[in-house]
Structure 1
Amino acid sequence: MTRIDFYILEGKQPADGRVIACRVAEKAWLTGHRVYIHTADEREAERLDELLWTFRQGSFVPHQKLEAGIPADTLTPIHIGWGGEPEVHDEVLINLAAEVPLFFSRFQRVAEIVPADEQARQQGRARYKFYRDRGYPLETHTLAQG
């Protein structure tokens, strides 16, 4: 059964959920996992694509932003996409969209990033309830920021 981890961002200064997603993706990749990062739209995927190169000094996180008509590189350990179901990868899903992706259950683990703003919190609560009501094992991690 898919394990669901919620990363709740707290603090005086709002943290960027994309940076946390980069850290989670990097950690998963360094421990040998393949990752799919699901974004709300193409613009968000582009931002994340750029951020994976710059989020930490000296970091190198191999990834591919999925594009229509271009096949996914099966050797690249991290893919970024939006909309439909990914062609490859079924280990770690990082969800940055407001809704639960329909394909989440094919993954071994789902990481839900919940920023500190009220709208994101409400969306996060709805996703938490969705998983809980279906009996998925849930873990919550609070990340204090500045």
Structure 2
Amino acid sequence: MTTTLLFIETRSADKRMVLCQQVERFYEKGQRVLVVTDSTLAAQHLDLMLWTFSQPSFIPHRVVAASLDTPLVEPVIVVPSPLVIHGYEVLVADSRVTLDFLQHFSTAVLFVLTDDPNQRQDSRLLWQGARDRGLALQHIPYSPGNSPRSS
């Protein structure tokens, strides 16, 4: 399986809203999505945002802190740290993840924060490492007032 990485440019203040839009986009396509955060608090915040960010849409989801023995029925899972849950083909990264972790998914969405030089540099290094491994890469530039909803 070849992993496709989508590097989406956004501002720090808009990141979580763009993240929710990306989760919604993949959910509407019928794909199962795993959202990885860096803490329980961040997972709880995203849980709340997924319930409230868009009035007309409903995204069934669940916060999961550890691997479970029973299959998950929810199409979207939010985890507080990198955790591979089989059956989820799309990763949306709210936090830093490794290339090894990314390669468990057919598609990975990563955010390039245009107003954070350190995070931008981390994104460049991840892009270079992914390119060296032969992963498919797509860059989605920042456009004010336009949420990225690439295909």
* Same fold by TM-score greater than 0.5: yes
In structure 2, the CA distance between the partners of 1:139 and 1:49, relative to structure 1 (3 Å rule), is same
Contact conserved, 1:15 with 1:115, CA < 8 A, in 2?
no
SS of equivalent residue, structure 1 residue 102: helix
SS of equivalent residue, structure 1 residue 50: helix
Aligned position for 1:133: 132
Contact conserved, 2:33 with 2:77, CA < 8 A, in 1?
yes
Q: CA deviation at 1:130?
A: 1.9
The structure whose residues are more often strand, as a share, is 1
SS of equivalent residue, structure 1 residue 58: coil
Aligned position for 1:121: 120
Matches within 5 A, 1:45-124: 45-68=43-66, 74-100=72-98, 102-116=100-114, 117-124=116-123
Contact conserved, 1:29 with 1:78, CA < 8 A, in 2?
yes
Where does the alignment leave 5 or more consecutive residues of structure 1 unmatched? none
SS of equivalent residue, structure 1 residue 24: helix
Q: CA deviation at 1:73?
A: 5.5
- Give me the identity figure in percent: 29
**CA distance in 2: counterparts of 1:64 and 1:73, whole angstroms:** 13
Q: CA deviation at 1:60?
A: 1.0
In structure 2, the CA distance between the partners of 1:108 and 1:99, relative to structure 1 (3 Å rule), is closer
Number of matched pairs: 143
In structure 2, the CA distance between the partners of 1:7 and 1:39, relative to structure 1 (3 Å rule), is same
Where does the alignment leave 5 or more consecutive residues of structure 2 unmatched? 146-151
- TM-score when scaled to structure 2? 0.83
Query: Aligned letter for 2:3?
Result: T
**CA distance in 1: counterparts of 2:98 and 2:67, whole angstroms:** 25
Aligned position for 1:144: 143
Contact conserved, 1:64 with 1:73, CA < 8 A, in 2?
no
Contact conserved, 1:91 with 1:108, CA < 8 A, in 2?
yes
Q: Deviations over 1:86-113 (max 9, x none)?
A: 3333310111212326322121111112
